Amino acid sequence: MEYHVGVSCDRCGQQPIRGPRYKCGDCPNYDLCGNCKEYSSHIHNSRHIFYSALENILHPGVTCDGCNRKIFGPRYKCIDCPDYDLCVKCEASSSKTHDPRHIFCKINHPKDIEGFRAHLLSRKEPRAPSPVPPPKSFQIDIDPKQLHFGKLLGRGGFKDCYAGVYLNQPVAISVFLFKLTELSKHELDEIKGEIQVLKQLRHDNIVHFIGVCTNPNDISIVTELCENGDLHRYMSKVQRPNFHRLVKFMHDISLGVAYLHTRRPSIIHRDLKPMNILISFDLRCKINDFGIACIGSRGNTTMHSNCAPEFWSNNPSYNEKVYACGLTFWEILSWGEFGHPYQDIPHHALVQKVRDQNVRPRLTHLVPRYPKNLLTLMEEMWQKEPSWRPSMSQVVERLTFWIREQ
């Protein structure tokens, strides 16, 4: 058993701490033993994050690519590069020295490298081939004669979605209900700008944009087809999956949002909820309807139940989508059993309840079913103060733990 000489637990007083030692990442000198860590959200500031104290552990043969020194303590490995590692100090400024779109995985101990490799393989695991894979290439303008409409998949407030075929490949076609002739030149330029952004996005957990089809009457956005529809309907049709699959859904969504947030400039999804998350044939979650949603509403952002408290202030937050992601996680773990977050609160009362009275979805029905640390993460994500919420990269890292445990 490991002994931490000279270090005592700030809850039970155990000295020295025997076994795992957890150090608060927000306090200069606060430590807990393994037993007390389970109660950290009740005995310490619930907004603070604890890390396993491994400051003196050396990662043999590994050099930080930022400062060229040996790595002691947590090692951060880029999951998008074949060989790129950073120490704790250099990781804090990684967005300035490395590709900001890349995501780093934290490796506390050299023995954890096998778990990292397993996680990396799970991201690249061979999947059953789609009967007809989505087109690899795309173009900004699609000839209407090459686009063939199939069955209606669903109707929304500002668009209808159809299954279709483009260049002999299955696609999804979203037809917007407003006419091009109704748009001003400024509005049309905004649409083109949004499409140019969508065109650049390439990530496994973002719905792939293929192109746009226009004619004098309407505009259609063509994307890959996700055979299992949106997450909201999927939850209503399919029995609750096992815990591993639920966490995989949450992990996929987090990876997609983290990718959007780490792009430069960042892309903030304006309406993150299960209806805007699609499920592919191989049960991967893919984020949909970001950015383009503002076109259908003519640029006016409307209030909905997943809005963060700061939505109603003059200081909108970069962390709004961390909050919305936390509510989406609640729906996934509930699996539709208790409806939508705040469904019992009248629309006009949302501001008072959510922002002023700090009302959040109940967790009592989830406590017997899921690990406490997972529910604590969810609570941290919907904290009222944006700065108290974890970043999406931190959410990815913490969910990775549950992926590795399975």
For CATH 3.30.60.90, list the domain ranges present in the chain. Answer: 58-117
CB crowding 181-210: b at 16 or more within 10 Å, else e = eebeeeeeebbeebbeebeebebebbbbbb
Is the per-residue pLDDT at 329 higher than 90? yes
Q: pLDDT for 290-312, tens place per residue? A: 544 343 333 344 445 556 555 55
What gap in Å lies between CA 189 and CA 129, rounded to an integer?
A: 38
- Per the prediction, the chain carries an average pLDDT of 76
- Residue with more model confidence, 119 or 396: 396
Helix (H, G, I), strand (E, B) or coil at 318: coil
For residues 119-128, average pLDDT: 46
Angle CA 7–11–14, to nearest 5: 45
**What integer pLDDT is reported at residue 286 of this predicted model?**
94
Is the per-residue pLDDT at 406 higher than 70? no
pTM summary value: 0.61
**What integer pLDDT is reported at residue 243 of this predicted model?**
92
pLDDT band of 242, cuts 50, 70, 90:
very high
Place domain 58-117 in its CATH homologous superfamily. Answer: Zinc finger, ZZ-type (3.30.60.90)
**What integer pLDDT is reported at residue 194 of this predicted model?**
66
| CATH for 144-224 (3.40.1190.20, 3.30.2230.10, 3.30.200.20, 3.40.1110.10) | 3.30.200.20
- At the topology level, CATH places domain 3-52 in Wheat Germ Agglutinin (Isolectin 2); domain 1 (3.30.60)
Quick one: which of 228, 187, 226, 229 has its CA closest to 210? Answer: 226
What gap in Å lies between CA 193 and CA 40, rounded to an integer?
A: 47
Contact 223, 185 (CB under 8 A): no
What gap in Å lies between CA 144 and CA 142, rounded to an integer?
A: 6
Q: pLDDT for 245-283, tens place per residue? A: 999 999 999 998 888 877 766 666 667 888 889 999 889
Q: pLDDT for 18-77, tens place per residue? A: 877 887 766 777 888 888 887 777 778 776 766 665 555 677 888 888 888 888 777 888
Q: pLDDT for 157-166, tens place per residue? A: 667 889 999 9
Place domain 229-293+304-405 in its CATH homologous superfamily. Answer: Transferase(Phosphotransferase) domain 1 (1.10.510.10)
